[in-house]
Amino acid sequence: TAADTHADTDSATGADTDSDTDADTDTAPIQPACSEDPFEDNDTLDGPLPLPDPAVDLAVGRDDDDFWTVDVGPWERVTLTALHPVALGDIDLDLYVEGQLVGSAATGFDDETLSWANFRDSPVQATLHVHLWDWFPPPCSMYDVAVEHDPLPDCPPDAVEQPDPIPLVGPLTSLNAHPANPDTYTLPVGPDDAVRVTITEEATTVGDLRVTLLDSDGNVLAADNLGPVYPLGWVNPGELTSVEVRVEATDCVTYDLLPEVLVNPGCPDDATEPNGTAATAPPLALGTTSGLNADGDDDDLFVVQLAPGAQIQVTLTTDGVFGQPVLELLDSAGTVLLANDDGSDGTTRIAWTHPDPTQAFEGLVRVRSATCVTYALTHAQVALPTCVDPDPAEPNDTPGSGPPLAELTALSATVGDADHFQVTVPPESAVTVSLLSDGVFGDPSLELTDTSGLRLAFDPDGGAVRAHNPATTEAVWDLAVTSQACLAYGLSPLVVGCASDDPDEPNDTVATAWPATTGTDRQVRDGSDDHWALGSVSVGATVEADATFLQAAGDLDIELLAADGTVLAQGATVTDDEHATWTNPGPDPVDVVLRVLHWPTFGATCRNNRYGFDSRILEP
């Protein structure tokens, strides 16, 4: 699925310490004494010990990692959570199976969680590596480990299963792959021909895929691991060859596969040629210029002129299959000012403002690609806003000088003039601060620090920062907003108590689901999922559900469930809203329940977020 392959940006200024002192996590001193615990010696991957049951009051030290064995039954998922006070030393986790790393957890929060699924017909012994983050001073930290074992759903062989690889002919649908059963296919590709393979996950699948194209010698030609659609392409520059399509899964994934062979597509010159040098570069017109081609022997350059007080914005779009273009902005001397090659979704953007907005600028836009790529460029120049200086929050140029943080608007940050605000966080609560702007100008950043100046959270893109106050007393932190150009913005804080919940409890299971088709200002905690009974869906009818929330405060997912807990559909992206839809194929009506849950590994502490939801049943 468009899986939650999230990276936690909520700043981990923690550190991992690994020395085994069996001290109680609830009463540990700030700098605990570190000594061997009763479970030594388990300091290497080759010499692990069985994880004790219960796994409590363990300790790990700077030069004294812990390695524990955990038995995982056939067709079973194990989830391991290390509970520890990050202030005493930030613990991270790795999981190994047969000497191979299969999972890691390193968020910088009080809990670290990872899971692994055994899709084999025999039990497996996994090894959990507990260690300290390298860049945190404490010599050791205490921790507990919680272990959960859950059965895996059935993942039967599909209709084309046979000894891999198999010849790939025509479109294929409803294929299954799981970690113990990758799929491989072969496809002949003639000289100068191109192969394009598109794989699409079905909406109800749980895991992610890695799709790879390889030549007959096993060399990787193209790869993609960002779903739910995986488009890959390759142009054959040589003789007739066989291309292997390899599909690997992190869980049970059902997918469709569409192969295409394009006969001698070539890479013809476009209408702007020759433009391979600065001397031959034509002006890049405002608006969209389509039908452009570039390849490894043919860079494209265009002249751009930027008026004073404006920002240049250039967007490159392709089909995301052939070529991996690099989009660059150069000054008149050929120095690269800005570059972006992150075009995995077929879109690459650059935006640049002159350091002195009173100056005009003339430079070059360059497009480079190792293989032939057909693309379009969209060129815009947007006037910079006028900064209101001072704004209503001034003076707030130094830590501690700013006003208390609240819902604030009509603020402005200028170059070299950071804005500071005081953030009050109740005990056992988390705060998320979002910067509200048009996202175009200023290149803003947010930084949250404690009274000693220790960074708690940082977002270089000016989106949002989140941090947890685990203490039993109130904390007052400093928020700094910086900008590389005049930035008009607002701030929105969200404070959530770690143990708080909404009044519609208990509704943690399908059996206790509350009847409701819509809701606002609901709250869901990790370990206390919310379930809402949406009603009966008749044969041929469709149920749709949406949930909206602040993703930076905690990544939520949704599932549509049958009364027996079967997952009918899910929404699992990395955005501020999730959508799921399901049509009842029959033969009977189905009572459908909406489940709202935290993505398990987003932030390890104080996983609690507010949301709203809406649903509808559409009769045929």
Strands 408-413 and 419-425: unpaired
What's the rounded mean pLDDT across residues 86-113?
A: 83
How far is it, in rounded angstroms, from Cα 388 to Cα 413?
A: 9
pLDDT above 60: residue 18: no
* Residue 254 three-state SS: strand
Residue 428 structure tokens: 């056992």
Residue 311 structure tokens: 């920002």
pLDDT above 60: residue 246: yes
**pLDDT, position 207:** 67
How far is it, in rounded angstroms, from Cα 437 to Cα 464?
A: 12
Q: Please, are residues 103 and 115 in contact by the beta-carbon 8 Å criterion?
A: yes
Confidence of residue 32 (pLDDT cuts 50, 70, 90): very low
* Number of Cβ within a 10 Å radius of residue 508: 16
pLDDT above 90: residue 462: no
Confidence of residue 86 (pLDDT cuts 50, 70, 90): low
Express each pLDDT in 188-213 by its tens digit: 988 888 888 888 988 766 667 889 99
β-partners of residue 209 are: 249
Minimal CA–CA distance to 355: which of 397, 412, 306? 306
Q: Which span out of 48-62, 507-521, 561-575 was modeled with the highest average pLDDT? A: 507-521
Confidence of residue 14 (pLDDT cuts 50, 70, 90): very low
Domains of the chain and any CATH numbers = 1-152 (2.60.120.380), 166-262 (2.60.120.380), 287-383 (2.60.120.380), 408-497 (2.60.120.380), 514-618 (2.60.120.380)
Express each pLDDT in 463-479 by its tens digit: 889 999 988 999 999 99
**pLDDT, position 7:** 37
Q: Please, are residues 534 and 610 in contact by the beta-carbon 8 Å criterion?
A: no
**pLDDT, position 504:** 87
Confidence of residue 280 (pLDDT cuts 50, 70, 90): very high
**pLDDT, position 69:** 96
**pLDDT, position 442:** 57
More confident residue, 50 or 397: 50
Longest CA span, the chain: 75
pLDDT above 90: residue 520: yes
**pLDDT, position 320:** 60
Mean of per-residue pLDDT scores for the chain: 83
* Residue 532 three-state SS: strand
Minimal CA–CA distance to 488: which of 423, 446, 440, 447? 440
